[in-house]
Structure 1
């Protein structure tokens, strides 16, 4: 079982691990483990482009392996967010698209920049309408026990208010500047300070490091404000969306695996080195295909796979402890 918490404890975390990229080109069902969850983001296109295809692929995957939950890493609603918890976009972007019986499981969402163009409180309030939409706060933590010796600590964070670009534009992103940046950073630090689970995963919408033509200031703000906390606590994985392609980036002197999940509807090209900003970054993998991420945990092995719209594994990355 798992439980959602917003607590502060007082312990420390020390991790020793090894990382091994694995073979791709297999179907996801061949690589399942004792516990699996999906990460999907940049979804909401009213079912157009690859959204319906990917939703069906996710559902069919659930017919062959057990999916514990789905982490929705922001931008469930393009382009202007939602007006309220009864906005028709909840049906056309979400309910009617993810209608497969195997997707009637818990969804743990976060806000993306497109949600911040609308009514962000409505995204929290929708938890009172949809049984599967579980969003207790703008940022929160989830604890999952896999077996007697393996556990997960997931942190779902709200990255838009951590970025000055959004805070400064109160017309386009009216709710961003209203959020207490320091309170969120203190929460993240306090949870990670006491986390004693086997694996720590932080999920945010925006990348800390990535090759992209999007405004460099977004990543620089997160590198200054968020990344020192991730490194301090030796977080295993930072998972994000936002740039609509797959990337696995390794950064010099950082213990964190920075993983960008592609869009589950409409992908975009990967930026070239000349176009992108980044210091001491090494790209281990990138792809401009649309799709989703499958995370699989078994004993002391954590495997992440990038999957395309048809459920083919494009890339596999395994970390062991």
Structure 2
């Protein structure tokens, strides 16, 4: 096991991301905002390919944008290591796909990550292990958890166990079921913990992050299990954004019957699927290519931007809230 890097130790000391309590069954990590109360976040998914498929090029632009925005942390929407996750905590893929790729100083901030279906193909417990933070102090990955950033809370949800086909028809690629068996109980507990946490939340902004899409017009499309079981909870608790990866593209879809917005940021490496299938909700933006997303927050304003691999802003969306009426 490699010794902690100097940067890793600095990151751990500066951000003090400590598990301080549990919110309705979910671990909570606290992240400070800037002195002016603002927060800047980058969101990227489906990236871990040892720098290939333009991962390194996207990473370079991610670093430049991170510097421009003075980013506070990075959200990973899963499929962190292709094709079959990590083999263990000493797997070289962790450095070759993460530490050795996202090297910009602006990205020396916490990375909060969820698991994707490709991560479940490997030793899933290794990605969840705190031992990885001894290699790179930026890394935090748990099945489901909350990042509390004062006026905003980010609810991370482990969506892979929801998708029945991974367990009933795995196409010869087994998924690591340790920690989620029996699956039905695990899903029920995850949904209850999330609903309880959302009920307890007093944050102005509430964002839920998972790997699989609820709404998508790309190759994977909607995830029926999430539409049926997760979406009603999000709508009932006034969640502002559902953010995912899985489809290797960038998307913004608005619900037709609720203020919730569905955002896909899965363009971290291999992309260009060539599939577009509209659904019944309102498509605001679709880019079948590589890139990432940013979120700039104050107490009463949210600005979301989608970037291409060259740093061009492809789409921007702004929302505001009357904080005195909340």
Distance 1:62 1:232 in 2: 33
Match of 1:175 among 160, 174, 177: 177
Distance 1:164 1:302 in 2: 35
Match of 1:56 among 60, 66, 69: 60
Match of 2:83 in 1: 79
**What is the Cα deviation at residue 310 of structure 1?**
1.6
Match of 1:123 in 2: 127
Structure 1 residues 128 and 182: alpha-carbon distance in aligned structure 2, compared to 1, 3 A threshold: farther
Match of 1:319 in 2: 319
Match of 2:205 in 1: 199
**Gaps in structure 2 of 5+ consecutive residues:** 1-14, 26-36, 322-326
Match of 1:307 in 2: 307
Match of 1:139 in 2: 144
- What does 1:2-151 align with in structure 2 at a 5 Å threshold? 6-8=22-24, 34-125=38-129, 126-135=132-141, 137-145=142-150, 151=151
Distance 1:3 1:253 in 2: 38
SS of the equivalent of 2:223 reads helix
Any conservation in 1 of the 2:70–2:106 contact (CA below 8 Å)? no
Structure 1 residues 238 and 46: alpha-carbon distance in aligned structure 2, compared to 1, 3 A threshold: same
Cα displacement string for residues 45-87 of structure 1 (whole angstroms, at most 9, x for unaligned residues)? 1101221111111222233331100011101101011100110
Distance 2:309 2:230 in 1: 31
Distance 1:270 1:236 in 2: 29
Match of 1:250 among 241, 249, 254: 254
Any conservation in 2 of the 1:291–1:307 contact (CA below 8 Å)? yes
RMSD: 2.0
Distance 1:128 1:152 in 2: 28
Distance 2:273 2:191 in 1: 32
**What is the Cα deviation at residue 194 of structure 1?**
1.1
The structure whose RCO (Cα within 8 Å, separation 6+) is larger is 1
- What does 1:279-294 align with in structure 2 at a 5 Å threshold? 280-294=280-294
Distance 2:273 2:140 in 1: 32
Q: Segments of 4+ in structure 1 off by > 6 A?
A: none
SS of the equivalent of 2:215 reads coil
Larger deviation, residues 280-289 vs 187-196:
280-289
**What is the Cα deviation at residue 270 of structure 1?**
5.4
Match of 1:21 in 2: none
**What is the Cα deviation at residue 291 of structure 1?**
0.6
SS of the equivalent of 2:140 reads coil
Distance 2:299 2:198 in 1: 21
Distance 1:127 1:235 in 2: 30
Structure 1 residues 7 and 156: alpha-carbon distance in aligned structure 2, compared to 1, 3 A threshold: same
- 1:224 paired to 2:228: yes
